[in-house]
Structure 1
Amino acid sequence: MSAIVCCGSVAIEFAEMYFRILIGQVLLWDKQISAGVLAK
Structure 2
Amino acid sequence: VLKPERGVLINMECKIWAKNVKHDRQDRIGSAHFELMID
The reply to whether TM is greater than 0.5 is no
Q: Which has the higher helix share?
A: 1
State the TM-score, normalizing by the size of structure 2.
Answer: 0.20
Which structure's CA Rg is the greater one? 1
Q: Which has the higher strand share?
A: 2
State the TM-score, normalizing by the size of structure 1.
Answer: 0.20
